[in-house]
Amino acid sequence: MEFLLQYSRFIIEGFITALTMTIIGVSGGAVLGITTALLDVYGGRVSKVLVGIYVEFFRGSPLIVQLLIFYFSIPAVTGLNWDAYTAGAVTLILNSGAYQKGYFKGAIEAVFKDQLMAAASIGLTFRQTLRYIVLPQALKIVIPAWTNELVSLGLSTSALIIIGVRELTSIAKTIAAQTFRPLEVYFTIAIIYFIWITIMLKIMDIVYRRVRIPGLEVSI
């Protein structure tokens, strides 16, 4: 296995790329997910339909196909010239946002109507109700579901290989090809993914414990 050490620099770079893409995708996706969830729950008919089309597209087609569309098809049609990293990041954000919309919608709807009426009864505006009542609860309720998305998107970054982003899987493929030792290389990479995911799960578990509120627990 020592031969892998000489490639460690590339492996680390690949890992950092995968981690960065995950963070970009999941945080951009969170902003998008919260926005589309609010539009879906409180918006008018038009916004509900638009959100529906967006979500169906990204949840109803493979990530790899989405990556190909954003890296090859869209530039071909629009003349837009972006590199694989930008196209990949945008696709991950849109893809994750579609899934996170569902999680946030569920969490927003878990804040019961009686609390909304109570908020109105003390004179809070709609905006204040969202800010002080709905979102603080929804953001806590959503953590377990959101953790799943973090893990899922982290592993999905390996799909970026299809558009040539130098992430962990793509680095592994190159090393395997150069060394003719696919067995050791791919197993090592799989273990790196596993350790990474385990650490993320642990961190999210600590976060969840910290912000947990009696009576607001949800089982995953």
Number of other CB atoms surrounding residue 178 within 10 Å: 11
Considering beta carbons, is residue 27 or 125 the nearer one to other proteins? 125
Closest CB 40 distance from other proteins, rounded Å = 22
Strand, helix or coil for residue 181: coil
Distances (CA, A) of 194 to 187, 188, 203: 10, 10, 14
Among 52, 38, 187, smallest CA distance to 109 is for 38
Closest CB 104 distance from other proteins, rounded Å = 16
Considering beta carbons, is residue 115 or 198 the nearer one to other proteins? 115
Residue 140 corresponds to which amino acid?
K
| Site of interaction with other proteins (CB under 8 A) | 112, 114-115, 117-125, 128, 132-133, 136-137, 140, 213-216
Closest CB 212 distance from other proteins, rounded Å = 10
**211 neighbors 203 (Cβ within 8 angstroms):** no
Considering beta carbons, is residue 41 or 110 the nearer one to other proteins? 110
Q: For residues 80 and 43, give the distance between their C-alpha atoms in angstroms, rounded to a whole number.
A: 32
Closest CB 48 distance from other proteins, rounded Å = 23
Euclidean distance between the first and the last CA atom of the chain, given in angstroms as a whole number: 38
Considering beta carbons, is residue 76 or 211 the nearer one to other proteins? 211
Residue 81 corresponds to which amino acid?
N
Considering beta carbons, is residue 80 or 216 the nearer one to other proteins? 216
Closest CB 112 distance from other proteins, rounded Å = 8
